[in-house]
Amino acid sequence: MSDPFGRAAGEPFVVAVTAPFPPDDKLQNMLSAHVDNIEVHFTPYGESREARAARGANQGVLPAGIETPAVDDAAVAIWQRAHVVVGIDLPADIERLLPNLRWFQTVSAGIDQVDRTQLATMNARLSSASGIASASIAEFVMARLPEVWKNLRFIEDHQRSETWAEAFGTEVGGRTLLIAGLGSIGREIARRARAFDMTVIATRNSASIGDTDPDVDELHPAADLAELVRRADAVVCALPSSTETTDLFDAAMFRSMKADAIFCNVGRGTLVVEQDLVDVLHDGHLRAAVLDVMRNEPIPAGDPLWTAPRVYLSPHSAVSLDRYKANAWSMTTDNLRRYVAGEQLHNEIDL
């Protein structure tokens, strides 16, 4: 019986973990249940936020002039034998550095930074980690929205200044939440919003008129977004980056929202025309903008987002890391089982 990874008899199965996780034996122990003679090596490789953003805007191809980390000889020697890479980034020259690569398992939900054409040329498979952090990101969203509605920033500011100033917030129950993108993250947000007695409406690219979903009160096609934002007290963007979603949230979209609506983006920074958002906020429109993702990360000193009124910034940190590695190992192990069995991988990307 031929080996699913094309190994010769007696050849070890080599996994290179390039994700920034500290080495441990758990992954090898878990994977060995499905493949014999296995080696797991931790060879960290992580590109900058700038490089990932540039790749995302260029179909995963790194534009000229952007530096990437050097790879030492020891890592290259391991990569030359690797059948699987578990990480976030791949170097540009994978055909030379990873000639035996058969599968790239990302530990990120997004794959904008991955050159899919190059993987397809090598007949390698690609699977994302979509869903691995959905619960923690949803918790973050459901912490931020009440933070705004309950005026917690105002209350904390007055505590620090030792001044007594009453601030009465908004009741969350009965508010309408619009989720742009009912994927894994959007679904977890919807479930939590319903626990707050909110009315939840959502869009999904694959939805048709009349479709329903058990986790939302209304499901609409993506094309209805511009009309739906008029009804929402909060709009949460959980969309991936694509040619259709780039610059989707512009001045027209923001000005269609209620004057006291909250806009929250945990999708991709490329979805927002940031200067339009800044202008709208300076005009007094929107109650708040909650941004965990920006077009350029990190945003530079002096960027108008830092000082725009009613902006709640976080440095792409909505995810919680306390269980992230364990979840990544579980997903990788299950996908290895699927690979060996000749099944479609969980979150497999059609290349």
Q: What is the pTM of this model?
A: 0.85
In the prediction, which pLDDT does 1 show? 56
Radius of gyration of the chain (CA): 22
- For residue range 154-170, list pLDDT tens digits in order: 999 999 999 999 989 99
Quick one: how many helices (H) and strands (E) in the chain? 13, 12
Q: Quote the CA–CA distance of 116 and 101 in Å, as a whole number.
A: 13
Cα dist from 151 to 107, 157, 213, 324, whole Å? 35, 10, 32, 31
How many CB atoms are located within 10 Å of the residue 338 CB? 16
- For residue range 83-99, list pLDDT tens digits in order: 999 999 999 999 999 99
Within the chain, which residues score under 50 in pLDDT? Answer: none
